[in-house]
């Protein structure tokens, strides 16, 4: 079996909801997989669980030399793929002809663009940041064009941010793990329980959603929110005293804790502003919701409506206060059986088109024909 090395940009203790199922589990059916993570605390490299290499963060820009020093035979690898980090990619490309491996680049999310847009939302973006982004994008494009394969989360992500990339492209979207389908816990209350997981900031404009909820009789729903910054959430929610008795704030510490919370809800929330950053891929929270057959309210954009059908396996609406309110009121008036059916239909749809097992098989095929 050919060997495949995946160099992440992640800390060894980070929960890897994408890397784990796709690369460690399903792609492992097709290749002998090794994965590199980084450590901010360790001074020396180590091998963990037989297939993971933990590299001190101080060596991340000299990764090939570090592997050589630790007697990792790079001649063994048919493929080396780098996740997000252009500096690491440059080092991997530089040594490719010495070891004769194929090079891939995985773009999971345009983090630099996201920071620019967050800074803009907070009135912190500078002219220097704009120029720097253009320079970095040009450099990344040049490096990716030296690769054998480019693996963005969506084709739209490539077209929006790296439109000059000419390398063979294979899209690896976020998906669900068919082995980790969760059972929804049907609560006995009459209210509809809505769940939002994730960041609350100016860029995501969650107050638009709160304003929509504030116009609905508060005894007909519960809004459950799990966020890493519950204090920020409380300060935001305090602006809407009419929702005080309808909101529950959580801070899920682990992915498993989050999944258990989601399973107690009726409907997931993922409406996001209609901008390129959010329209170029499916938010991970949507996949988390449907893993528990929780149907989801999401923005009606090209990416979402290419997968989902409104009122059949999801609820799609424009990102405006009135549109969201109308959709929420419509859902609240549905029976629980009708809501359950939408969730089950959505889960089946994702198992057909966004399934890590199938994606891994398709990726293996693409790699084998390089």
DSSP string, 72-96: --GGGEEEEEEES-HHHHHHHHHTH
pLDDT band at 247 (very low <50, low <70, confident <90, very high): very high
Q: For domain 3-175+355-368, give the fold.
A: Rossmann fold (3.40.50)
Question: What stretch of H or E contains 256?
Answer: helix 255-262
Segments making up each domain of the chain, as ranges:
3-175+355-368, 178-353
Residue 271 structure tokens: 């409406």
CA atoms in the 13 A half-sphere facing the CB of 283: 23
Output the pLDDT for position 248: 95
Which of 140-149, 213-222, 305-314 has the weakest average pLDDT?
213-222
Same fold yes or no, 3-175+355-368 and 178-353: yes
State yes or no: pLDDT of 183 exceeds 90. Answer: no
Kindly report whether the global pTM for this prediction surpasses the value 0.85. yes
The residue among 10, 9, 6, 4 whose CA lies nearest residue 29 is 4
Distance, C-alpha 242 to centroid of its chain: 33
- Give tens-digit pLDDT for 260-281: 899 899 999 999 999 888 888 8
Six-digit token string for 301: 């954009």
112 — pLDDT class (breaks 50, 70, 90): confident
Residue-level pLDDT at 354: 94
The 8 Å CB, 24+ separation contacts for 277-281 are 277/110, 277/113, 277/114, 277/117, 277/203, 279/156, 279/303, 280/110, 280/153, 280/154, 280/156, 280/157, 280/160, 280/161, 281/109, 281/153, 281/154, 281/156, 281/157, 281/173, 281/174
Whether the CB-CB separation of 282 and 299 falls below 8 Å is answered with: no
Q: Name the pLDDT band for 341 (thresholds 50, 70, 90).
A: very high
The residues that bridge with 54 in the sheet, in sequence order, are 37, 46
Q: To the nearest 10°, report the CA torsion of 98, 89, 81, 2.
A: 10
Rounded (5°) CA angle 150-31-349: 65
- pLDDT given at position 117: 72
> Which of 45, 22, 23 has its CA nearest to residue 32?
23
The span from the CA of 325 to the CA of 215, in Å, is: 7
For residues 67 and 70, give the distance between their C-alpha atoms in angstroms, rounded to a whole number: 5
From the number of C-beta atoms within 10 Å of its C-beta (0-12, 13-18, 19+), residue 7 rates as buried
User: Can you name the CATH fold of 178-353?
Assistant: Rossmann fold (3.40.50)
């Amino acid at each position: 079996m050919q060997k495949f090395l995946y160099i992440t940009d992640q800390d060894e203790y980070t929960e890897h909801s994408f890397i784990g199922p796709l690369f460690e589990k399903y792609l492992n059916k097709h290749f002998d997989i090794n994965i590199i993570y980084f450590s901010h605390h360790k001074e020396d490299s180590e091998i963990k669980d037989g297939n993971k290499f933990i590299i001190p963060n101080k060596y991340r820009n000299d990764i090939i030399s570090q592997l050589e020093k630790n007697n990792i035979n790079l001649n063994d690898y048919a493929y080396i793929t780098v996740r997000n980090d252009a500096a690491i990619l440059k080092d991997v490309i530089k040594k490719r002809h010495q070891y004769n491996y194929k090079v891939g680049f995985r773009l999971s999310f345009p983090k630099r663009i996201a920071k620019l847009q967050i800074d803009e939302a907070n009135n912190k973006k500078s002219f220097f940041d704009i120029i720097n982004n253009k320079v970095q994008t040009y450099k990344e494009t040049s490096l990716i064009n030296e690769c054998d394969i480019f693996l963005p989360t969506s084709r739209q992500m490539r077209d929006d941010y790296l439109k000059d990339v000419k390398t063979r492209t294979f899209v690896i979207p976020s998906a669900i793990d068919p082995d980790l389908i969760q059972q929804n816990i049907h609560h006995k209350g009459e209210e509809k329980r809505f769940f939002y997981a994730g960041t609350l900031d100016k860029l995501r404009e969650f107050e638009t959603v709160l304003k929509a909820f504030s116009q609905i009789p508060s005894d007909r729903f519960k809004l459950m929110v799990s966020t890493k910054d519950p204090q920020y959430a409380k300060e935001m929610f305090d602006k809407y005293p009419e929702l005080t008795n309808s909101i529950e704030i959580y801070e899920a510490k682990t992915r498993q804790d989050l999944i258990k919370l989601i399973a107690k809800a009726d409907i997931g929330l993922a409406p996001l502003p209609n901008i390129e950053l959010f329209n170029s891929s499916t938010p991970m929270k949507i996949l988390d919701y449907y893993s528990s057959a929780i149907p989801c309210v999401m923005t009606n954009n090209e990416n979402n409506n290419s997968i989902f059908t409104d009122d059949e396996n999801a609820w799609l609406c424009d990102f405006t206060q009135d549109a969201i309110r109308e959709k929420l009121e419509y859902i609240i008036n549905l029976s629980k059986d009708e809501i359950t059916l939408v969730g089950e239909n959505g889960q089946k749809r994702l198992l057909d088109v966004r399934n890590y097992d199938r994606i891994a098989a398709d990726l293996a095929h693409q790699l084998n024909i390089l």
